[in-house]
Structure 1
Amino acid sequence: MADLDYGWRLREVMAERGMSSTTELRPLLAARGVDLSPSQVYRLVVGKPERLSLRTLMALLDILDCAMDDLIESPPARTVRRTGK
């Protein structure tokens, strides 16, 4: 089975942009039509989401002026060994 793990860097990207609190993010999301509760925003920042709406993702990219690969880090590629016959 394939390893589909990923790294979620929202907290790091926020810090790089000078955002230190999850409460700063909530009104910025709301201004873009994404209404999340304070606890949902907290979990989004400190955890690794298993599900994320594209609207929320696009709002985060806009707020943080970043690309998807700034927020979502894929694991290093594993070397696949093939045998020739």
Structure 2
Amino acid sequence: MTRQTITYFWRLREIMAACGLHNISDLIPLLTERGITLSASQIYRLVGSRPDRISLTVLGALTDAPECTVEDLCAFRVEATAVPKAIKAGPTVIDLNATIRPKRARVRRTD
């Protein structure tokens, strides 16, 4: 049985190079014009690695600055992955609370 997963490729570095923006210091003023203030390390991570989460205002500024679309920035692809087979259960586990009932103790005198 197969399951479909969606993967995406973050292409901000390619789009920046196509627009003539070769450093993150070229991108910082474009984002500040649009009201986005990020540190240099945050922008470095946006450019260099694929983000798991991103604010829509940052995404809008990233698409507006180099005049591209979200489809240009994120290339989505649907992939089929195999679902792992279920692992066969080992020995049967018995619930002792349900099967064994304690017996009432009787205390007797020994005299």
- Structure 2 length normalisation: TM-score? 0.66
Unaligned runs of 5+ in 2: 81-111
* Aligned AA (1:31): E
Aligned to 1:83: none
Aligned structure 1 segments of 4 or more residues deviating by more than 3 angstroms: none
- Structure 1 length normalisation: TM-score? 0.84
Bigger share in strand: 2
* Aligned-pair identity (%): 44
CA distance in 1 between counterparts of 2:42 and 2:15 reads: 18
1:5-62, Cα deviation, whole Å (9 max, x unpaired):
2000000000011110011111211111111000000000010001111101111111
Aligned to 2:31: 29
May I ask how many residue pairs the two structures share in their alignment?
Answer: 78
* Higher CA-based Rg: 2
Unaligned runs of 5+ in 1: 79-85
